[in-house]
Structure 1
Amino acid sequence: MREVRTLRNRKPLTAFLAFLLALGLALAQTLLLDLKAQKVVVKEGKEVLEEALAVAPGDTLEWRLVAENRGKETLRQVALVIPIPKETFYLDGTAAPLRLGNATIRPEFSFDGGRTFGLPPLKKRVRVVENGKEVEKEVEVDPKEYTHARWVLPELRPGQKAEVRLRTMVK
């Protein structure tokens, strides 16, 4: 008797978990994201991109994130985020605005691990010593301190693709 009751009690839970799994798979199949890093190399005076099998300090990497809406519905407020690895720093001015239809989407940046984003120049509050006194000042964040870049697309129609990119340098 006890086993039958346990099985009956698990059926709703199993059905709910199956529903959540199916929902997650459906959402994952709707938006395809592909992030790649390639090494920027100068050959015969021209920049070319190569697979980044090995990198060294001073190497430049180009990060490309391609998003494709494979669903049947328009997606709204799609945030495309490229994290900037700790072993690299962002090269200022390399994250270009994205043209999507009639919209121009400017990249926003974060310097706090992706918790907050804003348009440059970003500001932060720091404590410094001036004339022997500790004071708090607002200073501009150096783009080398950026941890993430983000483009928020108002919409991505079915079958539509969007590509964003930026460059970093290996520390």
Structure 2
Amino acid sequence: MKSYSPLVLLTGALLTSIAVAQAASPLTLTLGQALVKAVTVDGKATEQLAPDPKNVRPGDVLSQMVTARNMGSKALTNVTVRLPVPKGTTYLKAETAMNTAASGAKAEYSIDGGKTYAAAPLTKMVTVTENGKSVKKEVEVKPSEYTNVRWMLARIDAGKDLKVGFRVQVN
């Protein structure tokens, strides 16, 4: 079974985060990654996060979290954080941090490499054949087709941070 370095998977994501952070000087973005492991504790199935895994294998699930920290002395409003789904992985679901929901953070998704975004569920037009005729239909996009995620953070108070992220599975 082939194993990958998570660093290779995250290169594009990290570059995007750095570019966004430099555009808003009091804002720092830190990308973290952890391997999600299923473990049993006291007879109960639970998850354990192993930060900064050295190698990952096909089928492994990774948690990717971006910490957006306001290092300034004034609140930041209408902050946008973009993160591509790393190549070699498939988007699974959003990650939530306790402070994110209360912040009014809104997520939007892209299926075209970050050119356009919309709130889930996304739809697309497809051409199908029905009764011998080509017909255009609108269908719901599966989350596994997402290529990018964008969060709009309404407000980050001075000296505070918010975490946003998602889980992916290594192909």
Q: TM-score, normalized by length of structure 1?
A: 0.74
Unaligned ranges ≥5, structure 1? 1-24
Query: Alpha-carbon deviations, 1:14-38, whole Å to 9, x = none?
Result: xxxxxxxxxxx98564111001221
Quote the residue 2:158 is aligned against.
158
Aligned residue pairs total: 146
Deviation at 1:97, TM superposition (A): 7.7
What value does the CA root-mean-square deviation take over the aligned residues? 2.4
Q: Which moved more, 1:95-104 or 1:72-81?
A: 95-104
* Structure 1 residues 81 and 111, CA gap change in structure 2 (3 angstroms): same
The share of aligned pairs that are identical, in percent, is: 38
The within-5 A match list for 1:19-168 is 29-44=25-40, 45-50=45-50, 51-92=52-93, 94-96=94-96, 99-100=99-100, 103-168=103-168
Kept in 1: contact 2:39–2:48 (CA 8 A): yes
Three-state SS of the structure 1 residue aligned to 2:121 is coil
Higher radius of gyration, 1 or 2: 1
Q: Distance in 2 between matches of 1:69 and 1:164?
A: 14
* Structure 1 residues 59 and 110, CA gap change in structure 2 (3 angstroms): same
Deviation at 1:154, TM superposition (A): 1.4
Q: Distance in 1 between matches of 2:123 and 2:101?
A: 31
